[in-house]
């Protein structure tokens, strides 16, 4: 059976279809031909890793119209081709996007504006550090190749342990630290906002709350900065809830930190929430929206007085040039 991803593979002449529409002639002014300038270069996003997280990111970026071309790279050729075809068959319902897929990292990701790096999914039994050796080895294979073909791109690491892997990606890429970002505690912060919003009966988008430090068991909640509609929340909760003490706050923090483990234990993996988180980060980066997110950044120089080269999750302003401060 012939592959049906395009009519040319079914024996149709590829040049014949181009004549369906007549070419619009170039305009002439005062007897001189006006040369039409080419369109501005389109936005290209590459996603390395076609697992559950990678595909959730692709699907969210597609539906939000954040890219003109998406390159999907995975080690399993048949699987990634099947996922590409599945997405292409949804073209009628989506903005016009060119989708390519395969195993060749350099060829597929060349000239990317943003490359998102995901690796095999985590399991409930594996700690973040258990994944470190395996995932750093994968980054050694992928990151230098992406950097070679897309020397001006932004790198967004969405793999665990994300703070450590963002540091590794920075070193392996040779990029300025401002162009290498980890998804960090953005999803942890979203989980905290979700819990608070449900308790207070407001929309999660109206809650401002940050988890910082590391994406993992050591994540910290910035309780004093929690706001709803610009109003401080902590003092209100402590006045209206007699048991809302330090122990209660720690219980909420543990629930947030354990959120991923609970989801993995129930459905086997996390995907949708991190997909939306990554797409939101991509939007701010690609559209230069300069929104503030708690993401993994190089803390040296970012935090006054910190001379250590480590990546930590801190509130950072994200725009087209990466981390803007």
Q: What's residue 148's pLDDT?
A: 97
Name, in order, each residue with C-beta under 8 angstroms of 60's C-beta and a sequence gap of 6 or more: 275, 276, 278, 279
Q: Is 54 annotated as a binding residue?
A: yes
Q: pTM of the prediction?
A: 0.86
pLDDT above 80: residue 9: no
Q: How confident is the model at residue 165 (pLDDT cuts 50, 70, 90)?
A: very high
Q: Residue 308 catalytic?
A: no
Q: Is 52 annotated as a binding residue?
A: yes
Q: Is 253 annotated as a binding residue?
A: no
Q: What's residue 1's pLDDT?
A: 47
Q: Which of 29, 199, 215, 241 is catalytic?
A: 215
Q: Is 51 annotated as a binding residue?
A: yes
Model confidence pLDDT, tens digit, residues 197-242: 988 889 999 999 999 988 888 899 999 889 998 888 888 777 777 6
Q: How confident is the model at residue 312 (pLDDT cuts 50, 70, 90)?
A: very high
Q: Is 110 annotated as a binding residue?
A: no
Q: How confident is the model at residue 178 (pLDDT cuts 50, 70, 90)?
A: very high
């Amino acid at each position: 059976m012939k592959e049906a991803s395009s009519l040319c593979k079914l024996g149709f002449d590829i040049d014949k279809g181009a004549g369906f529409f007549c070419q619009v002639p170039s305009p002439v002014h005062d007897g001189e031909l006006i040369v039409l300038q080419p369109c501005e270069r389109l936005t290209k996003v590459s996603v390395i890793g076609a697992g559950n997280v990678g595909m959730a990111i692709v699907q969210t970026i597609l539906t939000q119209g954040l890219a003109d071309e998406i390159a999907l790279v995975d080690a399993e050729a048949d699987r990634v081709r099947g996922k590409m075809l599945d997405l292409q068959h949804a073209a009628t319902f989506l903005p016009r996007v060119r989708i390519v897929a395969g195993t060749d990292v350099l060829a597929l990701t060349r000239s990317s504006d943003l490359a998102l790096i995901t690796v095999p999914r985590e399991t409930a039994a594996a700690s973040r550090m258990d994944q470190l050796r395996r995932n750093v080895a994968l980054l050694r294979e992928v990151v230098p190749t992406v950097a070679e073909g897309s020397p001006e791109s932004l790198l967004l690491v969405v793999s665990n342990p994300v703070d450590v892997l963002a540091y590794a990606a920075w070193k392996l890429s040779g990029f300025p630290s401002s162009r290498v970002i980890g998804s960090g505690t953005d999803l942890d912060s979203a989980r905290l906002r979700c819990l608070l919003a449900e308790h207070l009966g407001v929309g999660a988008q109206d809650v401002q709350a940050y988890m910082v430090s590391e994406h993992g068991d050591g994540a910290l909640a910035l309780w004093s900065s929690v706001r709803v509609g610009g109003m401080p929340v902590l003092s209100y909760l402590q006045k209206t809830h007699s048991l809302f003490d330090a122990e209660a706050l720690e219980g909420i923090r543990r629930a947030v930190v354990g959120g991923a483990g609970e989801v993995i234990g129930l459905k086997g993996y996390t995907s949708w929430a991190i997909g939306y988180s990554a797409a939101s980060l991509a939007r701010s980066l690609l559209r230069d929206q300069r929104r503030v997110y708690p993401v993994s950044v190089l803390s040296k120089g970012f935090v006054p007085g910190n001379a250590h080269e480590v990546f930590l999750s801190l509130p950072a302003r994200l725009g087209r040039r990466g981390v803007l401060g």
